[in-house]
Structures are given as C-alpha cells and as structure tokens.
Amino acid sequence: MRIIWITPGFAADDQDHNCIPPLQLLARALVRFGVDLHIIALEYPFTSNVYAWDHPGATVYPCNGRNRLWMRWQTFARARAYAQQIQENAQTALVHSFWLGPAWILGEQFCARWGIPHRTTLMGQDVLPANRYLRRLNAGHAGRLVALSDFHAAALEKTCGFRPGHCIPWGIVAQELPAHLPPERSVDVLGAGALLPVKNWSRWLRVLRLVADAQPAVRAMLIGAGPEKYALQTLARQLDLGQTVTFAGQLPRAQVLEAMRNSRVLLHTANFESFGYVLAEAAAHGCQVVSTPVGAAPDIGVCADSDTSLATAVLHALTTPATDNSGRAARMEDVAAAYLALYASALGH
C-alpha cells in the first residue's frame, strides 16, 4: 500500500530524533507493517534533496519552506511536483496529512485530483478558534479527521460543533522502555517541553515554590528552549528558586528520556495539549505524572486545576515509589494497526 504523508516537518536524517518524535515512531511502525511510505515535508528540513529515512524505511521529499510565508507558493509548487512524481511511479492509495493547515489544503487538492481518500490527524492548537483553516470545515469532514485524545476531540467540538470521526492516541515503543527502574532518583520534579506561553511554565515555577515551601530540599529541573527562557529565569530568581531549579536547556531526546528515568515526578502545567507525548514518555520511565487536565493527562496521571492542588499532588507523588507506569500508554504498534485499519476502511477494504 503506497501512502503519502504531508507534514510541516520530519526528521532531517536518522539521527534527528527531536523532530516530532511520535510521528517518526509511527512512520517506522507503519513501514514495518509493509506500508510504502512517502513523506512530503513542507517546512523542515532545510534542504530540497530527497532522501531515504530509517533505511530501508520511508522516502522523504523536503520542500525547504523554512516557515517563510511569503514563499508559500514556492513550497506548494515543490510539494505538488513531488506528489506528481510519486504518483507517476506507482498508484497512491491514500493521502494522510498532519495538522489542519497547509498540509491539509494540499491533501485535499491531491485527493480531489486523483480521486483517492484523504485523512487528517489534528496535531495541536489547530482545533482552536484562532486557526483560520477551520472556516473551511463542516460536519461532512468529521469522518476524515483524527484527534489524539478525548480532550482534543472535545476542543474541536467546542470550536466547530462536531467531533472528529476518530480518536487515535500516540503510543510508546517497547525498545525505548527501560529494562529496570533505578531505585534512587536525583531529580524530584521535572518539567520538559518548549518554553512557550501555552506551556505555562510560570505556573510550573509557582507550583514548585509551593512544593519547596513544604519540602525545602526539593530538587527540580526544567528541560527545554524557547522565547520564554529569560523571563522564566528571572521569575525563578524572584521566587527564590535559584538553588532549587536547574534550567537544562534543549537536550537530545535520549538525554530527556534519561532525565525522566532519574526523576520522581513530571509536573506539567500547560494550558492546552492535544496529547502531550511527554506525559506518556515520563510515565513509561517511572515518573509519577501530575498535570493540568489537558491532552492524555487524565488517562496517564493525576490532574488538578489550581496551583495549590497541583502542589499537593506533587507532594503526595514524591512519597510514592517509582513504578512501571508504561501500561498507561498505548503501544505504537497498536497505534500503527489502528491507522492501518483507518486506511483500509477509507479504501473500502
């Protein structure tokens, strides 16, 4: 089965593990199931050279868009040329786009031209009212849309008045699960993610202050980079957390997973998550997960709404021994099987 994916970005090579990890893991699982996968990457990587990824795996066709809106016409032209090239070599069965945005627009165009099915996985804040592409949706599109969690599906329903026809969560892979959990962990409270306003790291610091008031020796680490870095470092000093929290910056994914294995609690205070892959990763590596009720958090950890209740949950989790929570997340092999079933249903099989 030949499938075309359209996505804003994909791994630049086999060592680029930080670019949308669950998308890479799903691609690898589908290829192992025998899918002939061709990936058109609109914005990243910054090259126009076609390459093989995870050989013998998928073929990636980068359009080198570099998020330059004024060059969008050129990005679309490259994508269309790549799609035609793929189609001429062998008949494409289905197009699968990620994010309700330019990738979705192109997917709609290709499928209308070729008369084949199109499916779209909603990936994040594309379900919120600020996304102008939502104006083009109606209830007739529901069966072609996939959400990542019940929270995510409910967000689209609140915005558009209908739910996606499918909900397929991300999963973890067995190869990344630790063989054993360390009895001692050097970090008490971990945070991991891009330092962006939607992640609400200022709240993370306020909750950490409450935790430190009750447990002064608490040790915390925040992994991530982004535009809020200096404001958050300033707030940490204002809250007298300079000796409590370490700002680790952006780390390779392998080091992030290692940090999870060495942490007791993952505290997540985002305002919105479609799924929150970091939640599944942390649970699989023995962290107790405490989060605002977003994405997959209600299924994976303990959720709370206020700073005080979040701090109380963290303090309680710090008294709980590390346990194997990997069973709380789906396996990526099962996720791939769910997408294969989705593809087969779209094709009438």
Q: How far is 229 from 108, CA to CA, in rounded Å?
A: 38
Domains of the chain: 2-170+331-346 (3.40.50.2000), 174-328 (3.40.50.2000)
Enter the pTM of the model. 0.95
Tell me 273's DSSP state.
-
Structure token pair of residue 144: 């072609």
**H/E element, 245:** strand 245-249
Distance of alpha carbon 183 from the chain centroid: 29
> Given the structure tokens 């627009």, which residue do they identify?
105
Q: Are 71 and 65 in contact (CB under 8 A)?
A: yes
C-alpha to C-alpha distance for 109 and 83, rounded to whole angstroms: 11
Task: Map residue 251 onto helix, strand or coil.
Answer: coil
Gyration radius from the chain CA atoms:
21
What pLDDT, on a 0 to 100 scale, did the predictor assign at position 305?
94
pLDDT of 71 reads 86
> In what helix (H) or strand (E) does residue 256 lie, and over which residues does it extend?
helix 253-261
Q: Centre a 10 Å sphere on the Cβ of residue 30 and count the other Cβ atoms it contains.
A: 25
Looking up tokens 């919105």, which residue turns up? Answer: 272
CA pair distance 142, 145, nearest whole angstrom: 5
Whether 296 contacts 275, CB under 8 Å? yes
Which tokens belong to 172? 């973890």
Give burial (CB, 10 Å; 0-12/13-18/19+) of 47: middle
pLDDT at 349: 85
Indicate the pairing of strand 187-192 with strand 220-223.
parallel
The per-residue pLDDT for 177 is 84
Per-residue pLDDT of the chain in tens (349 residues, 90 and over written 9) = 999 999 999 999 999 999 999 999 999 999 999 999 999 999 999 999 999 998 778 999 999 999 898 888 999 999 999 999 999 988 999 999 999 999 999 999 999 999 999 999 999 999 999 999 999 999 999 999 999 999 999 999 999 999 999 999 999 998 888 888 887 899 999 999 999 999 999 999 999 999 999 999 999 999 999 999 999 999 999 999 999 999 999 999 999 999 999 999 999 999 999 999 999 999 999 899 999 999 999 999 999 999 999 999 999 999 887 777 767 788 999 999 999 999 999 999 8
Question: b/e string for 325-341 if b means 16 or more Cβ within 10 A?
Answer: bbebbbbbbebbbbbbe
Listing DSSP states for 1-70 in one string gives -EEEEEEEE--SSTT-TTSSHHHHHHHHHHHHTT-EEEEEEEEESS----EEETTTTEEEEE---TT-GG
